[in-house]
Amino acid sequence: MKTGISTSNAGSAVVAMAVLGLISGILSTFQPEVMKLMLHPISQSLGVDGVGILPGLLFAVVVSIALFNYAKPATPADRLRLTLAFGFTVIAWVAAVHTALQIYDLTAIIIKYQDSSYLKLISDDLRRFSAGFCAGAVGAAIIFGGCAILVSSLRILRIWLPGIIIGAIAGLLLWAGLESGSEYLGPLVMFITWQVAIAAWLGYALTALTSQTA
Give per-residue pLDDT as tens, 36-82.
999 999 999 999 988 899 999 999 999 999 999 998 888 999 999 99
Strand partners, 107: none
Tell me the backbone φ, ψ of residue 184, rounded to 5 degrees.
-115, -30
Q: Give phi and psi for 107, each to the nearest 5.
A: -90, -15
**3-state SS assignment for residue 39:** helix
5: confidence class by pLDDT, cuts 50, 70, 90:
very low
**Segment (H or E) for 120:** strand 116-121
User: Per residue in 114-135, is it b (16+ CB within 10 Å) or e — as a string?
Assistant: eeeeeeeeeeeeebbbbbbbbb
Output the pLDDT for position 99.
Answer: 95
- The answer to whether residue 127 scores a pLDDT higher than 60 is yes
Strands (E), 2-49: none
CB-based contact 39:90 (threshold 8 Å): no
Whole-angstrom distance, CA of residue 185 vs CA of residue 183: 6
How far from 181 is each of 104, 111, 175, 178, 184, CA to CA, in Å?
A: 18, 35, 12, 8, 9
Three-class secondary structure of residue 14 per DSSP: helix
Whole-number Cα distances in Å, 75 to 17, 36, 168:
24, 35, 34
Residue 179 contacts residue 186 (beta carbons within 8 Å) = yes
- pLDDT tens readout for residues 148-181: 999 988 999 988 999 999 999 999 987 766 666 6
Domain boundaries, the chain: 7-213
Mean model confidence pLDDT for the chain: 87
Q: Centre a 10 Å sphere on the Cβ of residue 32 and count the other Cβ atoms it contains.
A: 10
